């Protein structure tokens, strides 16, 4: 079972605190030693750090833990290989371009005998079920909306159909982002917390580390953190319902389609220019 | 004017030595302070480090300089912005997937009023002439060979036509790789050196640093290094002829089409499993 971590914010925020606990799961507090990766969106650009080795003893992970890269959308993954060798091309998150935007994807679960029919526009480079699923998603997006990115509601609807279709082949928890929104699909296990003023003094579950967000955030900051299992032991994490697909924008849940009944719906408005920490 | 660096080898080789001198050009010995990036192929996978700031004071560049990532194909770039703001999405090298392989591209020069007609399959995310040229190249590749990657000779021929077509708009020095081969096009300025036994004791032009490759390489190792201007001051660098397109494979020039008359033609055979240093 792999580990997923996502972050979606309304101000560029570094993920050093959350990543410190998450990274420990790659060989220290948990046994996921088969590679790790993290993608940071900055504007329309994305930088992706990948290593096909345990995060707990990775020099690149050490850099990421200490170097505050501030981003509105982050997706990280720690791999416990089920399908595909331990190789760089099988290391999540995966990246492709569609509609002039980068798309980043990471998966937790196992899709059995999953060999989708693909048009050839997006082809897997590696040999994982996960990358095949990502190619299927983008292939369908491109077929359904060939000219330009559709409205968030239309995209959410197609993604929900794809999550059901692909989920028939096995466990399909995933995080997907285009740098504006972060989509989280729970098949079996995914939780999230939304941090906003008044901020907590958060304590990691995987390391004895505490941060008082009041000292590093402004009252306007809002940060959603999504993870396979809660990263802190003194905050209220929401357990996602199996089968649910949530859209996060600017650190809050977006009310769209199946999300209509969720708490804290927000309109996805332009972000301000502060800087925060998570 | 930007700076290009490429490496193509027959054994996985780290680029720490060459990168030390190259990096200094990003703000120390030269004035290219508008971002830098480096892409390493490892098998079919690629890892790309990008930073929209000067390489001379970049923590990520410091990591790359000290962390020996061994690769058969590397492309690096230091940016002096001509078109497009200093932003992550405008930072080279650029990456896309075609035929189930990652393609990496970096450009040196300036294409004036270059707005190619693109099919939409590959769209620029940023606003540089360079990324538009990269999209044009892959678009043409995909149109010409829709089903699968053609023979190296066919690909070289189409790339040569594209270099002429795009080069009509301005200076178009570039490096391109799919992880197997490295293509180098010289419009105005590009040099290469091929290191093989007996190895030199090489001294950097940009830093007072020397390495004796006999101590770190085996007699079978062969490494081609391509750069805008020579990185060492005591090796024989070959100045590429303006208008020439060279293909490197396993550290040697490949004899194909326009390269027919070049010295040291080799057949591109499988690499062995040693590890070297450049």
Residues A53-81, mean pLDDT to the nearest whole number: 90
State the residue for tokens 């492309």: B75
| 3-class state of residue B140 by DSSP | helix
Confidence of residue B276 (pLDDT cuts 50, 70, 90): low
Confidence of residue B91 (pLDDT cuts 50, 70, 90): very high
B44-62: pLDDT as tens digits: 999 999 999 888 888 999 9
Q: What is the spatial distance between Cα A110 and Cα B268, in angstroms, rounded to a whole number?
A: 37
Contact (CB, 8 A) for A3 and A264? no
- According to DSSP H, which parts of chain B are helical? 16-24, 59-66, 129-144, 152-167
pLDDT score, position B267: 45
Contact (CB, 8 A) for A278 and A18? yes
Confidence of residue B246 (pLDDT cuts 50, 70, 90): very high
Q: Which of A40, A101, A120, A142 best probes binding to B when mutated, by most B CB atoms within 10 angstroms? A: A120
Is B102 in the A-facing interface, judged by CB distances under 8 Å?
yes
Contact (CB, 8 A) for A184 and A159? no
A189-220: pLDDT as tens digits: 999 999 999 888 888 888 888 888 888 888 99
pLDDT score, position A200: 83
Residues B196-216, mean pLDDT to the nearest whole number: 86
Which residues fall within 8 angstroms of residue B89, CB to CB, at 6 or more apart? Answer: A43, A44, A45, A46, B125, B126, B127
Catalytic residue among B2, B135, B186, B249: B2
Q: Which of A34, A88, A121, A147 best probes binding to B when mutated, by most B CB atoms within 10 angstroms? A: A88
pLDDT score, position B213: 85
Contact (CB, 8 A) for B77 and B3? yes
Mean of pLDDT over chain B: 89
| 3-class state of residue B22 by DSSP | helix
- Rounded to 5 degrees, what are φ and ψ at A12? -55, 125
* Distance, first Cα to last Cα, chain B: 24
Residues A148-177, mean pLDDT to the nearest whole number: 97
Q: Which of B63, B103, B128, B148 best probes binding to A when mutated, by most A CB atoms within 10 angstroms? A: B63
Q: What is the spatial distance between Cα B157 and Cα B144, in angstroms, rounded to a whole number?
A: 11
Show residues of chain A in contact with B34, CB under 8 Å: none
Closest CA to A46 of A98, A85, A81: A98
The CB-side HSE value for A169 (13 A sphere, CA atoms) comes to: 17
Confidence of residue B275 (pLDDT cuts 50, 70, 90): low
Question: Is residue A273 pLDDT above 60, yes or no?
Answer: no
Question: Is residue A159 pLDDT above 60, yes or no?
Answer: yes
- Closest residue in B to A92 (Cα) is B45
Q: Is A2 one of the catalytic residues? A: yes
pLDDT score, position A129: 96
Is A101 in the B-facing interface, judged by CB distances under 8 Å?
yes
Contact B88 A122 (CB under 8 A): no
Show residues of chain A in contact with B96, CB under 8 Å: 96-97
Question: Is residue B189 pLDDT above 90, yes or no?
Answer: yes
Confidence of residue B192 (pLDDT cuts 50, 70, 90): very high
Contact (CB, 8 A) for B64 and B7? no
Residues B13-41, mean pLDDT to the nearest whole number: 84
Contact A47 B44 (CB under 8 A): no
Is B124 in the A-facing interface, judged by CB distances under 8 Å?
yes
pLDDT score, position B21: 85
Q: CB count, 10 Å around CB of B5? A: 25
Contact (CB, 8 A) for B192 and B182? no
Question: Is residue B259 pLDDT above 50, yes or no?
Answer: no
| 3-class state of residue B269 by DSSP | coil
Q: Tell which A residues from 184 to 243 touch B, by Cβ distance under 8 Å.
A: none
Question: Is residue B265 pLDDT above 60, yes or no?
Answer: no
Structural domains in chain A, sorted by start: 3-277 (3.60.20.10)
Is A123 in the B-facing interface, judged by CB distances under 8 Å?
yes
CA distances from B23 to B59, B65, B88, B139, B215 (A): 12, 8, 18, 32, 24
Contact (CB, 8 A) for B10 and B251? yes
- Closest residue in B to A66 (Cα) is B59
A85-131: pLDDT as tens digits: 999 999 999 999 999 999 999 999 999 999 999 999 999 999 999 99
Show residues of chain A in contact with B120, CB under 8 Å: 146-147
pLDDT score, position A276: 62
pLDDT score, position A258: 44
Is B259 in the A-facing interface, judged by CB distances under 8 Å?
no
Question: Is residue A77 pLDDT above 50, yes or no?
Answer: yes
| 3-class state of residue B132 by DSSP | helix
Confidence of residue B199 (pLDDT cuts 50, 70, 90): confident
Give one DSSP letter per residue of chain A, joined into a string: --EEEEEEEEEEEE-HHHHHHHHHTBTTSSB--S-EEEEEEETTEEEEEEESS-GGG-HHHHHHHHS---EEEEEEEE---SSS-SSGGGPSPEEEEETTEEEEEEEES-BTT------SSS--SS--HHHHHHHHHHHHHHHHSSSS---HHHHHHHHHHHHHHHHTTB--EEEEE-SSEEEEEESS--EEEEEESSPPEEEBSSSS-EEEGGGT--TT-EEEEEESS-SBSSS-PEEPPTTEEEEEETTEEB--GGGTT-SS-B--PPP-S--EE-
ipTM over 0.90: yes
Contact (CB, 8 A) for B77 and B128? no
Q: ∠ CA(A51), CA(B184), CA(B190), 5° rounding?
A: 110
Show residues of chain A in contact with B122, CB under 8 Å: 97
pLDDT score, position A275: 54
Q: What percent of chain B has pLDDT over 70?
A: 90
Closest CA to B195 of B7, B4, B5: B7
pLDDT score, position A269: 44
Contact (CB, 8 A) for B168 and B193? no
Question: Is residue A17 pLDDT above 90, yes or no?
Answer: no
Mean of pLDDT over chain A: 89
pLDDT score, position A217: 86
Confidence of residue A260 (pLDDT cuts 50, 70, 90): very low
CA distances from A220 to A11, A72, A134, A262 (A): 9, 14, 34, 22
B271 vs A142, residue with greater confidence: A142
Is A179 in the B-facing interface, judged by CB distances under 8 Å?
no
Positive or negative, the Cα torsion across A164, B147, A176, A130?
Answer: positive
Contact (CB, 8 A) for A154 and A96? no
Question: Is residue B141 pLDDT above 50, yes or no?
Answer: yes
pLDDT score, position B80: 85
Contact (CB, 8 A) for A228 and A173? yes
């Amino acid at each position: 079972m792999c580990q997923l971590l996502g972050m979606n914010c309304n101000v560029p925020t570094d993920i050093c605190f959350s990543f410190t606990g998450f990274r420990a799961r790659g060989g220290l507090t948990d046994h996921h030693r088969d590679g790790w990766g993290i993608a940071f969106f900055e504007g329309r650009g994305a930088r992706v750090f990948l290593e096909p080795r345990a995060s707990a003893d990775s020099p690149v992970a050490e850099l990421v833990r200490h170097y505050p890269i501030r981003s509105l959308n982050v997706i990280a993954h720690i791999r416990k290989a089920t399908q595909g060798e331990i190789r760089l091309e099988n290391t999540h998150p995966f990246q492709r371009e569609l509609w002039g935007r980068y798309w980043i994807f990471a998966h937790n679960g196992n899709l059995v005998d999953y060999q989708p029919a693909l048009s050839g526009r997006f082809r897997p480079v590696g040999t994982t079920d996960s990358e095949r699923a990502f190619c299927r998603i983008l292939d369908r997006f491109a077929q359904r909306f060939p000219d330009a990115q559709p409205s968030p509601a239309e995209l959410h609807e197609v993604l929900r159909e794809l999550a059901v279709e692909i989920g028939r082949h096995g466990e399909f928890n995933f995080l997907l982002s285009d740098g504006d929104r972060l989509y989280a699909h729970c098949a079996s296990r995914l939780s999230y917390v939304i941090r906003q003023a008044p901020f907590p003094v958060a304590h990691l579950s995987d390391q004895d580390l505490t941060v008082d967000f009041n000292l590093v955030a402004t009252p306007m900051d809002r940060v959603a953190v999504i993870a396979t299992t809660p990263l802190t032991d003194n905050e209220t994490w929401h357990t996602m319902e199996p089968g649910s697909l949530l859209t996060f924008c600017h650190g809050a849940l977006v009310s769209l389609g199946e999300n209509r009944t969720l708490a804290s719906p927000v309109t996805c408005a332009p972000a301000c220019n502060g800087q925060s920490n998570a």
